[in-house]
Amino acid sequence: MQRRASAEINLACIAHRAALWVGVWIGLNYAQVDLREQLLRVMDRKNHWAWPHFAEGRIPLPRLKAHFQQEWDVYIRDFPILDRVSWDEPWVVGAAVLTLFVEGSAREREELGQISAIPSPAELESAVRMHPLVRVHGVPLPAMELVRAHKQVEGGHRRDAWEMVLENAADGGERQVVDALNTALELWLRYRDEVAAACGISRP
């Protein structure tokens, strides 16, 4: 009897840790759990080899012009084009590409495992001060309002995006969603290769 009780306690602890790992996501069925893992594996690979050069200030500022021009083009030119994906059927495929892949990062698994909370003013300012634009390029703190606003809501809206896709894709559309994210990853990696080359970075 004591052994059985101990086993039940161990199982409860395992279930509790699993719930914490997914940010206390309760109620996902098997198909949704499987789809979430497939999509997280794609996001795990959204990590370009040249990114440390940009994030750690290894590139002289004049050579960053191509990088910043591409960032601008993505927001001004490419987002309206990407939005056309959302008009195709099933709609959840376009939603997954835009809300999970474009907005997400290689840290998706880690961030989804944390319980969302609005950062305190001190935590917010610390994060802004550590941003590469401030830390490396000397952008003044008052010019970082967009970053502040984004960090105040990013935890909650990431969770919402994942729940929306999982609830609507795990009904026969799983393969299309996974294939779409894999295609987006392949194209994104090529794009980042070209940006790195334009900034004079050679692949090791």
Q: Return d(Cα 172, Cα 80) in angstroms, integer.
A: 28
Question: How deeply is 100 buried, as exposed, middle or buried, from its count of CB atoms within 10 A (0-12, 13-18, 19+)?
Answer: buried
Question: Which residue do the tokens 């880690």 mark?
Answer: 110
- The mean per-residue pLDDT over the stretch 103-116 comes to 80
Distance linking the first and last C-alpha atoms of the chain: 60
Rg (CA), the chain: 20
Q: Return d(Cα 199, Cα 132) in angstroms, integer.
A: 17
Say if residue 22's pLDDT is above 60: no
The token pair at 110 is 């880690």
Question: Which residue do the tokens 């959302």 mark?
Answer: 86
Extents of the domains making up the chain:
28-198
Q: Are 150 and 75 in contact (CB under 8 A)?
A: no
pLDDT band of residue 21 (cuts 50, 70, 90) is very low
pLDDT band of residue 40 (cuts 50, 70, 90) is very high
Q: CB neighbours (10 Å) of residue 114?
A: 12
- The mean per-residue pLDDT over the stretch 109-120 comes to 74
C-alpha dihedral, 174 to 178 to 179 to 182, nearest 10°: 180
Q: CB neighbours (10 Å) of residue 14?
A: 10
Quick check: bond before 90 cis, omega within 30?
Answer: yes
Say if residue 135's pLDDT is above 70: yes
Q: Return d(Cα 22, Cα 3) in angstroms, integer.
A: 29
- The mean per-residue pLDDT over the stretch 136-157 comes to 79
Bigger pLDDT: 6 vs 193 = 193
pLDDT band of residue 182 (cuts 50, 70, 90) is very high
Say if residue 18's pLDDT is above 80: no
3 state DSSP class of 106: coil
